[in-house]
Amino acid sequence: MSNLSELLPTGGGQNAVDFVASGTLSSGQTVVLNSDGTVSAVESTSFTESLGSAVDFTSNISSLGDPSATFDSVNNKVILVYKDYNNNNFGTAIVGTVSGTSISFGTAVVFESANTTYTSCVFDPSTEKVVIAYRDGNNANAGTAIVGTVSGTSISFGTAATYTTNGSYTSLAFDSISNKVILFYRDNANSNYGTAAVCTVSGTSISFGSRTVFNSANVGDMSSAFHPNENRVVVGFRNSSDGYGKVNVGTISGTSISFSGASDFNSGSSEYVACIYDPSADKIVIGYRDTSNAAKGTAVVATLTGSSISFGSSVVFETGTTWYVVGTYSAASGQVVFVYQDDGNSGKGTLVTGTVSGTSISFDAPTVFSVNSANGYMVTYDSNEQRVVFGYYDVGTNDGDARVLRPAYTVTNSADFIGITASAIADTATGAVNVYGGINEAQTGLTIGSDYYVQADGSLSTTASSVKVGQAISATTINMMDLT
């Protein structure tokens, strides 16, 4: 025997299993196993960006105060938190249900019957609760937190707890390693220092660990994000004494937190800081208004290594005067999304998507979403519907509006790859599929000795992906036994 073909059975017969085809399959087609036992082609589907219509969640108001939003991933609900100017400035929450690019709301619920400002909220999946931090104007401006439970399209609350006698700016992050909520705030009772506490949720109650100062100077607006791979939490903030944009890295141990020391992400005046963890790039992205550069909307990518943090070069995403920057991460598109006011365009509400590459970020063209001037932004990501949800105050209509964004993205079923057809199979017909441990001889143009991978569109390529098939042993034959 002088040829490899003499050693192997013809027709790709090794480890061939008969399946019924769902759809017409070509010879040498990569396939997936369906829930009904049939097989269909590995393929990708692309979606263009789509923005749903504005839906009022409150009407005839003059502002939303300091709003915030989060997503309850257990009940698949969006929670918006705001100050209700129609009801004595009371702290209010409302539950939203996303369907496609639309959203509907239940009845608004008051969580604090007092003038409520500086709200921040986060979902704790370990306890299936929503945590809200805020300033209680009827209790000498005490920093306060409360626990909410979503049921259907409503939310109920436990008893509020005070974490400082006088607080203001707040931010909440969830530590998915220790299952703790991390609270950041400006402690007006302690020289306006930036302060943090580890929070424990139990039932509808919340308690606080020891308070730790993360910035021994007056701090302004702040935002935080948890980095699971480094098991650290990052807080970005405005250092009010010099106006610089700074971050500090926190390490959680039980109910305590310690910090590595503040670093400048912008050695210039910075406002409206928004920190986002990008899991696809394993980076922290910081958006902000760069007041030292004509108030342009700007972002920088931060790399975390343990408690050390470094920064790439800053990138402008909005050349006009920018206000009220908030942001989230879209898992569907693998991008960060910033929502903000473009004062260079009559104050209209605008959003922009950015893609991280290495230590930099590039942005798509901004999308204007409001006819009128808009402010008071809040944003979150609905991981169930794979949609970005944001709320804002429409200055022209005096309404609190919410909209749903479907970012442009591509989905593929390549992760469900099961094998390659030995020959063409007609729709509903039965045919052989070579599975792992076999040989497929229905290919063309392979490079002998090269490893091949399934691509998102179902093609085979030497470009590495998460689905390795095997190694080419001839121009037409791939050995599916090589899984290393």
The pLDDT value recorded for residue 72 is 98
- Judge whether 201 and 209 are in contact, CB under 8 Å: no
Q: Is 2's pLDDT higher than 90? A: no
- Report the CATH architecture of 50-411: 7 Propeller (2.130)
- Enclosing H/E stretch for 20: strand 16-20
How far, in Å, are 94, 239, 264, 360, 418 from residue 246 at the CA level? Answer: 33, 7, 4, 18, 49
How far, in Å, are 98, 183, 312, 331 from residue 370 at the CA level? Answer: 20, 32, 32, 25
Once rounded to an integer, what is the mean pLDDT over residues 350-360? 98
The pLDDT value recorded for residue 63 is 87
Residue spans of beta strands (DSSP E) within 176-293:
180-187, 193-202, 205-208, 212-227, 232-239, 244-253, 256-259, 263-278, 283-290
Three state DSSP letters for 127-158: CCEEEEEEEECCCCCEEEEEEEEEECCEEEEC
The pLDDT value recorded for residue 62 is 87
Question: Could you tell me the two tokens for 13?
Answer: 């017969």
Give residue limits of the domains in the chain: 4-43+432-479, 50-411
The pLDDT value recorded for residue 482 is 56
Percent of the chain topping pLDDT 70 = 96
What would the pLDDT profile of 371-420 be if each residue is shown by its tens digit? 999 999 999 999 999 999 999 999 999 999 999 999 999 999 999 999 99
The pLDDT value recorded for residue 419 is 97
The pLDDT value recorded for residue 481 is 77
What would the pLDDT profile of 137-151 be if each residue is shown by its tens digit? 999 999 999 999 999
Mean pLDDT lowest among 58-62, 161-165, 231-235, 340-344:
58-62
Question: Could you tell me the two tokens for 204?
Answer: 């509808």
Supply the mean pLDDT for the chain: 95
The pLDDT value recorded for residue 8 is 42
Q: What is the DSSP string of 22-49?
A: SS-B-TT-EEEE-TTS-EEE--EEEE--
Q: Is 93's pLDDT higher than 90? A: yes
* Amino acid at position 310, single letter: S
Q: Is 128's pLDDT higher than 80? A: yes
What would the pLDDT profile of 315-330 be if each residue is shown by its tens digit? 999 999 999 999 999 9
